[in-house]
Amino acid sequence: MTIRRKKVNTVQWKGVVESQWEARALLNHPGDAVLVKRGRPRALVMHCPDGCGDELVVNLDARVGPAWRLYETRKGLTLYPSVWRESGCGSHFIVWNRKIYWCDY
């Protein structure tokens, strides 16, 4: 029996918290995302929008290693550069103004 996952096409913003533990409690569905901020943005924690069930922690703090940039406008979140999972489901996507653009081959 093959289990079909449902990819989502938008990020659902769930808020801002101070720890990854608090963020995990707010994630329920693929594409849910929470900002971890302690003085400055530290990470974006989200349920993989691929529907695989994995939790993604995207580093936003360049002081601790390679980091993505998060932009917020009235149109929504933008994350730069793209997210490309080298393990797990292997999904590759762009978050631009809250929309998810899939980079499928």
Average pLDDT of adjacent 10-residue blocks, the chain of 105 residues: 74 96 96 96 97 96 96 92 93 96 84
pLDDT computed for residue 92 by the predictor: 96
Show the tokens assigned to 20.
């990854």
Query: How far apart are the C-alpha atoms of 90 and 73, rounded to whole Å?
Result: 28
pLDDT computed for residue 10 by the predictor: 96
pLDDT computed for residue 105 by the predictor: 57
pLDDT computed for residue 3 by the predictor: 54
pLDDT computed for residue 104 by the predictor: 77
pLDDT computed for residue 1 by the predictor: 46
Classified as helix, coil or strand, 34 is strand
